[in-house]
């Protein structure tokens, strides 16, 4: 667990140790790091949370932060897939 400041107030949450390249975050096509071309290929153990929004904003931030809160066990975290029209 990392404990950085996220947003304008201190928020403890689960984050990856290393930043993932943007190309690896796309689930619609593979990249040279990860060859998967859809979410099913990842074999996630927990159910996905799919969020559709026109753009990323404060509302999306307020929705995601509690889903990654420090008090949630890592094994119980659900992958979050964002479907954004513009980023």
Give residue-wise pLDDT tens across range 34-83.
Answer: 888 777 888 889 999 999 988 888 888 888 888 988 889 989 999 988 88
Read off the tokens for 12.
């403890």
Distance CA 63, CA 39 (A): 21
Global pTM value: 0.71
Contact 72, 14 (CB under 8 A): yes
Its domain, for residue 60, covers: 5-86
- Residue 11: is its pLDDT beyond 80? no
User: 71: which DSSP letter?
Assistant: T
Which of 81, 76, 69 lies closest to 2 in space, CA to CA?
69
For tokens 């153990």, name the residue: 45
Total domain count, the chain: 1
Phi/psi of residue 9, nearest 5 degrees? -130, 155
């Amino acid at each position: 667990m990392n404990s950085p400041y996220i947003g304008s107030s201190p928020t403890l949450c689960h984050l990856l140790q290393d930043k993932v390249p943007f190309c690896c975050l796309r689930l619609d096509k593979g990249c040279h790091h990860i060859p998967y071309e859809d979410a099913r290929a990842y074999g996630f153990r927990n159910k996905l949370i799919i969020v559709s929004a026109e753009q990323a904003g404060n509302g999306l931030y307020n929705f995601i932060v509690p889903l990654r809160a420090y008090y949630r066990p890592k094994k119980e975290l659900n992958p979050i897939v964002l479907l954004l029209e513009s980023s």
